[in-house]
Structure 1
């Protein structure tokens, strides 16, 4: 998870985690009702400009979108079959923009800062005996793991291409599942070694 965090500080690092998560949620809600092609293209261009403002390290993370190619092709094919290819293009642009925007939040936000931002929203869970801190940790890890899984798929695909000269496609599903399980096991061991989330913590 730490490998996707940009260690070189940018202007986006200086914005509070809570503000970034709220902005992400608002953008998601605002663009959801629209399927205008020009609007979605503008949104994607704005997100790409955001990445450019964060430097080369952020731009290199655009390669994480490669595993999305089969899904995007499938979406376009389905809409072409239904005779509405431009709607499919608009949906793909919105999907790409929102994935990149979410990744921009995770790569400029530390795990503890993300937990601190989410935890106040989860305090009512303490009324039912659950630990808000533990649930905040689970939410933060889920958010952080999404781009990491994209990176894992891309690394497997590059290794397959180096050996065979072709993309791995469905052949990567088995090693991807194995690596994902190993990753979750290592994360669980790391949490256990650090004592996990405090059981009695209901702050």
Structure 2
């Protein structure tokens, strides 16, 4: 099983990240993000974001995953810049934006180089101590798998609805774009529930 819309198969010998374990990559991700945030320095944040962006092609992932991530982050970055501009603190704007970009780009490297099956195996191992409290580690992994699957599904539904909205020449009617997305997601949820029930998962 591959991470729908996120996993990038190895295409060259430079794809070293694909050969690392999911646990190793997550540990490095947490340490790197913690170090960038703890530094509380705008220069460090910008440098970390630049390095994270450059690592994508250097590790054989190409530039598309990085561009996709930055495009998704753009609205949040714009809000941060506007807020900090009104507050008159450009240094904070640069620092926070740099930290967000660095964290998101590094996280993209992990998801783009790790199959869902590997990630879920890791989460299941990490959730085993919860079995003492009555939790089922396999169910925890299943919830995570469904979450991962639903993120690109929601994004795809929104993109399809927006394209249809623009193609019909509609303007000023957000309900014409939102309602089809909600209906489509509800149908997908029903189908998913029926599939889980058919497999004896309640």
Same fold (TM over 0.5): yes
Paired position in structure 2 for 1:66: 71
**Which of these residues, 95, 108, 126, is aligned with residue 121 of structure 1?**
126
Paired position in structure 1 for 2:104: 99
Instruction: Report matched runs for 1:153-164 at 5 Å.
Output: 153=158
Which stretch of structure 1 is more off in the superposition, 26-35 or 179-188?
179-188
The Cα of 1:162 is off from its aligned counterpart by 6.2
Paired position in structure 1 for 2:114: 109
The Cα of 1:94 is off from its aligned counterpart by 1.2
Q: Does the alignment pair 1:6 with 2:8? A: yes
The Cα of 1:3 is off from its aligned counterpart by 3.0
3-state secondary structure, aligned to 1:4: coil
How many angstroms apart in 1 are the aligned matches of 2:30 and 2:185? 27
Larger radius of gyration: 2
Q: Does the alignment pair 1:22 with 2:24? A: no
Segments of 4+ moved more than 4 angstroms: 143-164, 168-197
The Cα of 1:157 is off from its aligned counterpart by 5.2
> 8 Å contact 2:81–2:93 — kept in the other structure?
yes
How many angstroms apart in 1 are the aligned matches of 2:190 and 2:53? 34
Which stretch of structure 1 is more off in the superposition, 121-130 or 178-187?
178-187
Listed as ranges, the gaps of 5+ residues in structure 2 are none
Paired position in structure 2 for 1:132: 137
Listed as ranges, the gaps of 5+ residues in structure 1 are 198-203
> 8 Å contact 2:46–2:94 — kept in the other structure?
no
Which stretch of structure 1 is more off in the superposition, 26-35 or 16-25?
26-35
3-state secondary structure, aligned to 2:18: coil
> 8 Å contact 1:67–1:154 — kept in the other structure?
no
Aligned residues: 195
Which stretch of structure 1 is more off in the superposition, 144-153 or 72-81?
144-153
> 8 Å contact 1:106–1:143 — kept in the other structure?
no
> 8 Å contact 1:123–1:132 — kept in the other structure?
yes
> 8 Å contact 2:165–2:176 — kept in the other structure?
no
> 8 Å contact 2:5–2:152 — kept in the other structure?
no
TM-score normalised per structure 1: 0.75
CA RMSD of superposed structures (Å): 3.4
Distance change (3 Å), C-alpha of 1:174 and 1:95: farther
